[in-house]
Structure 1
Amino acid sequence: LTTIPSTVQGFGRMKLDSSVYLFQNQSGLKGTPLYALDAKDLQHGRSDKICLTVNTEKPVYVSVTLVWTDPPASHITGRQLVNNLDLLVHDMKTNKTRFGNSKRHTDGSQTGDSSGLHDDLNNVEQVAYVAKKGLSDIAIKVHAKSLKKGGSQAYGLAVSVRSPEKGVALSGEFTLEKLGSCKTGCPNNCSSIGSCSHSGCKCPPRYGGVDCSLTGENLTELFQNNTYNTTINVPQGSWKYFLFEYKSKTGISGSDPDGKKANAAKVEILHPSRTSDPDLYINKGDIPTHSSYHWKETTCDSCKGKQSKPVYMNNLNEGVYWIGVNAACCIDSTLGLRVTIGDENELKPMEDINDNKGKIDKTDQKKDVQKQPHYLLVIELATGILVALGVLGIGGYFTVCCLKKLRGNFYAQVVAESEEVDIDEGVSLPEIPPISQDEDATAAPEVS
């Protein structure tokens, strides 16, 4: 199966002896030390920090898990997570910060590697990594990034330590204790690229993520005849980034073979591998995420090897634009990416141009009028066939015999069979005598 966390199995089945603290047993082995924090409330935009110390004679596997009960989302929303909490774990011995459920977005490696991005889709986040032997101080931060329902969100946090070898209990002396206070600074010291402030890392335009460790392939000088084509492979759950810069004086690429300034772009996903689900997110000034973007195209899960709907980037302003491709589900995505730049009116869809001008394309309108009688003819023909078949079926399988009393004791027997109507030869049909004045002319005839 895929790496943890998996879209198929999540974090796997719970193993009790790896989840709770077990005292020393007769064999002399110790179980798993556990620190747990339950039902802690957190306000929107606020953070909680828990500092622990781990002291072991050998390297240990540290697991930090954050969970919360998310309010129900709307049935029509595409993004189900309502209240978003983020988990950060900072190892002060190695000065490395890890983020909940993060993967190295260039190679899709295991949970626990720093990637510069937070998970904004799930209400279970985990950081798991191997800590070096000796004394290590760990700072754990829970941040309420976005609370859309309720003034606060309750959460639970669990920290456990075990042997890095599966099925082997910890041996020797170890401790897991809470510290009074600790200082972390900015994640990964902003990768020595950005500047650290009280609110976090401030990244230069071509870098992004919470620790400024992420960048993308710069397309600004790679366009040929105003087009960039490439084939990429994106591991499941990971991202691939591209970027270009728009300048008001020179446009996107700085030079154009037609002598026109490129002030718009069209981005397309081409022929993704079947059963894969690549999504496209585009943002200005910062790296795109599932919740932060200016344009997106997420319907390619149904395109099955065909190209997705193009994204038209118009009305560009000066700055850096990020293109992010995310392999949302359920396997690695191999796909083509095409970026076309040019004049806004040339790249824009025709229907958008007509809408903006407040006019209707009369040529298209004429085509629609010509096609209308053809469609009506087909509908009328189909309706006529169905009605005819119904009449023939009823007439062929049912015989209706009716006896109607005309007047006095004279009867006429009519047999209706299929489409023919016959009158029995043995029945005489004399003339009907006129109604006498003393009889009730309004009385209904008897029916036998």
Structure 2
Amino acid sequence: MALAAVAALALAGCGGGGDDKDKTPSGGASGTGAGQTVQLPKLDGQKLQVVAVWTGPEQEAFTKVLKEFEKRTGATVTYTPTQDAMLNYLGTKIAGGAPPDVALLQQPGALAQAVSRKWLKPVSADAKAQLTKNYPKGWQDLGAVGGQQYGVYFKAANKSLVWYNAAAFEAAGAKEPKTWKEFMATAETISASGVTPVSVGGADGWTLTDWFENVYLSQAGPQKYDQLAKHQIKWTDPSVKDALGTLGELFGKPNLIAGGADGALQTEFPASVTQTFTGDQPKAAMVFEGDFASINIQQTKAKIGTDAKVFPFPAVGADAPVVTGGDVAVALTDKPATQALLTFLASPDAAGIWAGQGGFVSPNKSLDLKTYPNDVQREIAKALVDAGDTFRFDMSDQMPQSFGGTPGKGEWKLLQDFLKNPKDVAGTQAKLEAEAAKAFGQS
């Protein structure tokens, strides 16, 4: 929980920080903007296929990273965005004899499953050297299975943030809440001012797992969190009942959610962000999600740090929660270019390219914080790096993908159902336990 304290201190000053892209170094791919920190081999004529879930602005940003790799090595890289159920996609490609060279997985559970199916290649000595030099041990360990290093966590996330429309808060006379009780009171205050307080991207089930995890970590504590993540306690545990009951305080009041439950379930994550910061009459005043929401905010006219501000997810229990996420790059082929790309992704050179564009946080401790485009993102990134090894990874991402990471199934679907019927706590618990038991048994 040390990260919670660091994040609270770091974010305390974020509200007044203006957008200051003029301070961002220009030129160069490295975090310092002063040249290259990793040497890559010449790979003229080699071709790579990379798959990840990123589309839209995230795809554009990652493509710039791959273009720099092409420029340095002479290799040709093709990027293909795919669905969230990455293991299903990879399984189909492997069965057809045409696996991609590099994939970016979103779940440690998916990484472990891919290793167990003998799909992945360990990282090279060069890639491992970059990891040892640039990454805290905790992030290295997340990319390892059975003591063998298989992955490079290229993109991380602080998933315990609430972004808010400063004008809507000011008009309502609302202040940044620090506790769940204050959060609910703030929501009622904003509602009374004529603005719907909370935007929820319920069409994407993963956003609802993030709501649950933040409430659960703060209310039940890290030990219970770790136990539930490993299915060492059941979803029928009283701690889950308490967390669902707390979430129900918000989900059970349609006037507090943009469009009510039905509207939220038709709203995808990007729209849940942009509708909070679009126009003189936004559809909501607040939206909960990670630092990556900033890239969606940048699609509006709102300026981060001025029009769009942020506060830590409110404390439900004694401490405010901090949940992290991340995308881990893994190798599925033995090509020299495959390992060279992993080496590049483990360097501050690659991280600096995306960091300068916003919507990105890296666990790479060698990345110069000046690379981030504004004070808000610098402080979020600093909190993540300063935390070292003390963080809690997204719970659903640690579970078998069939339960914690598949659209329309498992936890995603059941929490969507709970959003529609938040009074059915016991029924939701029973269904979650049945699905979890099945998934862990198969895994």
Name whichever structure is richer in helix by fraction: 2
- TM-score, normalised by the number of residues in structure 1: 0.20
